[in-house]
Amino acid sequence: MLEKIMAILIGSLSVGIGVNFFLAPYQLLDGGLIGIALLIHYYFGFPIGLTTIIISIPLYIYVWNYERKFFFHSIHGLLFSSFCIDLFANVETDWDLPILASAILGGIIIGLGVGLMLRYDTSTGGTDLIAQIISRNTAINVGILIFMIDGCIILSGIGIVGVPVFFYSSMTIVIVGVLTSLTSVKPT
């Protein structure tokens, strides 16, 4: 239980840091509901974490009714990662990384955080949760599913962020997917 709590804390902090220190400064996108929340943030200025919670409500209603185990395994990750995202939203950094480095580092940090939480049967909710449900019922790796869903989300944001940022965001989700896949595998 202590390991799971630590995984939620460390994973959520990683997601919050990755989103705010590496993606948001360049309007880079992530996939999943966080990616949708980023699009809404870039377009309307709404807080990313709070928006993630709000747009997660329909999914959590479904999970409560049909997959209650996943509800209890992910609600903590959703709430804490959303809190961390908004907690770090106004933190200023002194470094000025190029967009390529930011896309890579953001992908690494977010992928490690999400993968760590998935390893301990929790998640940030959203499409990670959808991917967990699909993965449980198929032989498809959860990281590959997340990558496919994320690709659709960033493709839908190309009109908001533009083509160059779309390509850097694509790199980010590939890195998130790979590191999520590698990190989420439970040791045998």
pLDDT digits (tens, 9 = 90+) for 134-177: 888 888 887 788 778 878 888 999 998 999 999 999 999 889 88
What is the model's pLDDT at position 40? Answer: 95
19-48 residue pLDDT tens: 999 999 999 999 889 999 999 999 999 999
How large is the average pLDDT for residues 78-97? 91
Alpha-carbon span 27 to 40, nearest angstrom:
11
**In the 3-class helix/strand/coil scheme, how is 153-182 assigned residue by residue?**
HHHHCHHHHCHHHHHHHHHHHHHHHHHHHH
Q: What is the reported pLDDT for 188?
A: 67
Question: What is the secondary structure of 67-97 as a DSSP string?
Answer: -HHHHHHHHHHHHHHHHHHHHTTT---S---
For residue 100, the one-letter residue type is L
> Tokens 């659709």 appear where?
152
